[in-house]
């Protein structure tokens, strides 16, 4: 019991630190999106979005190793094996070194050809786009080397430094905006160069912190065939999931560019900025509880792990709903206030992306638990294969003259099918009842969503479109979600736990 309380306290503390980081980064992301759009213009913003999106296509290679590092680091800490943790760290750095060479070769050959010959870029901006591409590749490779160090920090659950780094990144990004407004040079090219410098500096900071605090981060050449085989075997199957996410995200971005040009990419980029801002909230909680899920599995505490999966799945969903409901209803007004000039398709894109977020967010802790088992071959093949279907289906509909919104409708359908497959693997790998998960998580969240949307929807349909309506919808949405979450969304034990904590805070505040 004491250990469980300590774990819960650690999760709460780490979540708080990550939310401080997230709040600053979210504000910075929303502000910078507006400022960068105004500084670069819609066309250059669309060019940068599609170039950066293409570079991120290489992330499916890095994620095969980064997912392995996160899982193996947390597992060895949970098992209390510092020696193997150090060995896995060395293997991960060696793997990233090899991978960086592969990415550089692919990027400067096939990738460069793709940029020059297949993307739709205005003739006067081709040279700027090529420079952006080169610096984006270099920045991606540099930031790639921060992954083992970030994974080590997260596995040790030292979220305070992670939060401090977020504050530093906020300050440096604001500095980039200031420099862009002052220097009389090509804004698009300068933006790419400054982002590369930012990636290099933050990677060095993560390296320096780990070097000074963790002996397990000291690198020396290490090779063990059996360990590498285990590490690579786990990481290899992540590539399917990574490719599916890549093709659904950046692959569809390429399709939109090929069929509709960079202005639609700008609209899509803004929609995914909103997604990124919302995901910051959920991922901070998920990042705090994910190491605990892996450590509980490594320690053989399956019952506690199952309880954490259920409760964290509900919390992940409710945190997402807090933001998606008012934003979904007031998307046109929020985008107008935020951007002033709203590119075509942005409102619809944003609303459809919010639906995708809602569908997927409930399964994040479940994915962490499946990954903790290490038995992910068929899971990745199945769910990854389902997600990859988004690309050919979207191409077929676009080729027949479909509107750009069709790719998002297809993604929503595919996301629902992928969720069904995850539930089946949950049953197979973790022996968790699908019926229990649906009744205790999915059904509760569905009722909370429907009931919470009633009053805000009535206000939206009957009040004129004025700034005061945004305030009314936001406040009623938040109040309704909180009330219905307490009444329906959480279990009796969770509700009693919250009440006990509130009483303790009240007693400490007024009677001590």
Q: Of the spans 47-56, 63-72, 372-381, which averages the highest pLDDT?
A: 372-381
H helices within 299-388, ranges in order? 302-329, 331-339, 346-361, 364-373, 377-388
CA–CA distance, 473 with 479 (Å, rounded to integer): 10
Please give the pLDDT value at position 239: 65
Closest to 295 in 3D by CA, of 303, 305, 283, 285: 305
Please give the pLDDT value at position 242: 67
445 or 7, which is more confident: 445
Please give the pLDDT value at position 333: 87
The per-residue pLDDT for range 316-371, each reduced to its tens digit, is 888 889 888 999 998 888 888 877 778 888 899 999 999 998 998 888 888 888 87
Q: pTM higher than 0.85 for the full model?
A: no
HSE, CB side, 13 Å, CA atoms: give it for residue 117.
6
CA–CA distance, 297 with 79 (Å, rounded to integer): 10
Write the DSSP symbol of residue 340.
Answer: S
CA–CA distance, 418 with 294 (Å, rounded to integer): 22
Residue 46 tokens, joined: 């669309």
Please give the pLDDT value at position 118: 72
CA–CA distance, 484 with 448 (Å, rounded to integer): 6
Q: Residue 4 — very low, low, confident or very high, per pLDDT cuts 50/70/90?
A: very low
Please give the pLDDT value at position 336: 85
Residue 160: partners with Cβ closer than 8 Å, 6 or more residues away: 17
Q: Are 458 and 473 in contact (CB under 8 A)?
A: no
Mean pLDDT of the chain: 79
Please give the pLDDT value at position 304: 83
Q: Is the pLDDT of residue 1 over 60?
A: no
Show the 3-state SS of 463-489.
CCCCHHHHHHHHHHHHHHHHHHHHHHH
Q: Is the pLDDT of residue 408 over 60?
A: yes
What are the angstrom distances between the C-alpha of 320 and each of 255, 327, 456, 497? 28, 11, 16, 22
What are the angstrom distances between the C-alpha of 291 and each of 10, 41, 181, 239? 11, 42, 42, 21
CA–CA distance, 76 with 295 (Å, rounded to integer): 8
Q: Is the pLDDT of residue 382 over 50?
A: yes
What average pLDDT score do residues 61-67 get?
62
Closest to 426 in 3D by CA, of 414, 434, 436: 434
CA–CA distance, 325 with 330 (Å, rounded to integer): 9
Please give the pLDDT value at position 501: 56
Q: Is the pLDDT of residue 407 over 80?
A: yes
The residue count for the chain: 512
Torsion of CA 321, 67, 308, 85, to 10 degrees: -150
Please give the pLDDT value at position 480: 92
Closest to 444 in 3D by CA, of 492, 488, 491: 488
CA–CA distance, 300 with 309 (Å, rounded to integer): 15
Find the helix or strand (DSSP H, E) in which 343 lies. Answer: none
Q: Residue 456 — very low, low, confident or very high, per pLDDT cuts 50/70/90?
A: very high
Q: Residue 5 — very low, low, confident or very high, per pLDDT cuts 50/70/90?
A: very low
67-73-77 Cα angle (round to 5): 150
CA–CA distance, 168 with 400 (Å, rounded to integer): 48
* Least confident window among 11-25, 178-192, 233-247, 420-434: 11-25
Q: Are 30 and 273 in contact (CB under 8 A)?
A: yes
* Least confident window among 17-26, 67-76, 179-188: 17-26
Q: Are 159 and 17 in contact (CB under 8 A)?
A: yes
Q: Is the pLDDT of residue 81 over 80?
A: no
CA–CA distance, 221 with 224 (Å, rounded to integer): 10
What average pLDDT score do residues 481-499 get?
80
What are the angstrom distances between the C-alpha of 319 and each of 111, 284, 357, 444? 38, 10, 11, 14
Q: Are 481 and 452 in contact (CB under 8 A)?
A: yes
Q: Is the pLDDT of residue 10 over 80?
A: no
Residue 89 tokens, joined: 């760290």
Sign of the dihedral defined by the CA atoms of residues 377, 221, 218, 166, in that order: negative
């Amino acid at each position: 019991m004491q250990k469980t309380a300590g774990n819960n306290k650690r999760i709460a503390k780490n979540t708080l630190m990550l939310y401080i980081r997230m709040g600053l980064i979210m504000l910075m992301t929303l502000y910078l999106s507006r400022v960068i759009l105004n500084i670069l213009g819609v066309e250059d913003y669309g060019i940068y979005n599609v170039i950066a999106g293409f570079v991120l296509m290489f992330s499916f290679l890095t994620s095969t190793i980064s997912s392995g590092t996160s899982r193996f680091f947390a597992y060895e800490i949970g098992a209390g094996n510092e020696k193997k943790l150090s060995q896995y760290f060395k293997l991960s750095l060696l793997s990233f070194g090899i991978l960086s060479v592969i990415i550089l070769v692919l990027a400067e050959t096939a990738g460069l050809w793709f940029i020059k010959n297949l993307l739709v870029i205005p003739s006067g901006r081709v040279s700027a786009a090529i420079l952006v591409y080169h610096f984006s590749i270099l920045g991606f490779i540099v930031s790639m080397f921060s992954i083992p160090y970030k994974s080590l920090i997260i596995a040790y659950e030292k979220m305070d430094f992670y939060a401090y780094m977020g504050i530093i990144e906020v300050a440096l990004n604001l500095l980039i905006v200031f420099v862009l407004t002052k220097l009389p040079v090509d804004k698009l090219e300068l933006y790419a160069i400054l982002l590369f410098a930012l990636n290099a500096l933050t990677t060095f900071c993560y390296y320096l912190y780990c070097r000074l605090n963790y002996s397990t981060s000291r690198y020396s050449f290490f090779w063990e065939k059996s360990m590498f085989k285990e590490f690579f075997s786990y990481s290899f199957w992540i590539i399917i999931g990574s490719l599916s996410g890549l093709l659904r995200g950046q692959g569809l971005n390429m399709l939109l560019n090929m069929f509709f040009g960079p202005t639609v990419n700008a609209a899509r980029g803004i929609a995914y900025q909103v997604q990124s801002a919302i995901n910051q909230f959920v991922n901070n909680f998920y990042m705090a509880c994910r190491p605990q899920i892996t450590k509980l599995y490594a320690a053989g505490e399956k019952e506690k792990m199952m309880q954490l999966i259920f409760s964290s799945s509900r919390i992940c969903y409710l945190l997402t709903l807090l933001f998606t409901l008012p934003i979904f209803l007031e998307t046109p007004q929020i985008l107008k206030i935020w951007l002033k000039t709203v590119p075509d398709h942005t409102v619809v894109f944003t609303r459809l992306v919010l639906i995708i977020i809602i569908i997927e967010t409930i399964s994040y802790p479940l994915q962490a638990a499946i990954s903790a088992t290490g038995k992910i071959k068929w899971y990745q093949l199945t769910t990854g294969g389902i997600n990859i279907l988004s690309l050919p289906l979207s191409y077929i509909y676009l080729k027949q003259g479909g509107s750009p919104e069709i790719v998002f409708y297809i993604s929503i359908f595919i996301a629902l099918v992928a969720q069904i497959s995850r539930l089946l693997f949950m049953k197979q790998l973790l022996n968790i009842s699908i019926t229990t998960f649906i009744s205790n998580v999915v059904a509760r969240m569905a009722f909370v969503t429907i009931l919470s949307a009633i009053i805000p929807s009535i206000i939206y349909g009957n009040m004129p479109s004025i700034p005061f309506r945004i305030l009314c919808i936001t406040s009623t949405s938040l109040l309704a979600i909180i009330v219905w979450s307490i009444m329906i969304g959480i279990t009796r034990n969770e509700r009693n736990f919250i009440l006990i904590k509130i009483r303790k805070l009240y007693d400490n505040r007024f009677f001590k």
